[in-house]
Amino acid sequence: MRKFFGGSAPRVDRLVVGLGNPGDGYANTRHNVGFAVANRLGKRARAEFGIKAADSRIAEGSLGGIKIAIARPQTFMNDSGRAVKKLLDRYRLDPADMLVVFDEVDLPLGTIRIRQSGGSGTHNGMRSIVKAVGEGFPRIRVGVAPTQLREVPDLAAYVLSPFDQDEKALADQTMDRAAEAAAVALRDLQQAMNQFNG
């Protein structure tokens, strides 16, 4: 529409998308780690999530001289690709200019992994995004698997449940670290992988 009516896209260099589900009932669940990291990154950038656009809540600010938009899609996890496609269109960015942060049930709590690109794994939100825009974007996987070896009979129920009392301190540390990793990755992805993938 902007092409026909003039006006320009809001100018940002990079887009960070934290995955989660909208609504208070999901706020503190393992599946909403992406939202929690996005909130922390917003604080670092002194940016409020005041913009409602592209099926998302968006905060615009800057970190280390890089203009960024931080988004929390409001489409529900399984339809994240729809919001991400609209976000990339809004900011006229390529997928490679986007960083996606999400919970990873195949990594133990306390672990984060940064990758330059790749498939969706078992994560439905990532599956939706890869289907919408391809695999060519960096991502930060934040581990949410139990630190103690225990059977998780219902994976869906597990990720939609809050962290246990004895996990909360480690979960907070991990999300703080993931936000720091995102800030480094925006400047230098390789440095972030070297620093945080250990």
In this structure, what CATH number is given to the domain that contains residue 129? 3.40.50.1470
Catalytic residue selected from 14, 31, 90, 139: 31
Q: Per the domain annotation, does 145 fall within a domain?
A: yes
Q: Residue 83 and residue 35: Cα distance in Å, rounded? A: 14
**What number of other Cβ atoms are within 10 A of residue 9's Cβ?**
11
How does pLDDT run across 126-157, given as a tens digit for each residue? 999 999 999 999 999 999 988 665 666 677 78
pTM of the model: 0.92
Q: Per the domain annotation, does 108 fall within a domain?
A: yes
- 123 annotated active-site: no
Q: Per the domain annotation, does 3 fall within a domain?
A: no
Q: Per the domain annotation, does 1 fall within a domain?
A: no
State percent of the chain over pLDDT 70. 91
How does pLDDT run across 54-85, given as a tens digit for each residue? 999 999 999 989 999 999 999 999 999 999 99
Q: Please, are residues 137 and 96 in contact by the beta-carbon 8 Å criterion?
A: yes
Q: Per the domain annotation, does 150 fall within a domain?
A: yes
Domain of 152 in residue numbering reads as 9-196
Handedness of CA 33, 36, 41, 42 (dihedral sign): positive
State the total domains in the chain.
1
Angle CA(159)–CA(162)–CA(165) in degrees, nearest 5?
A: 130
Q: Per the domain annotation, does 54 fall within a domain?
A: yes
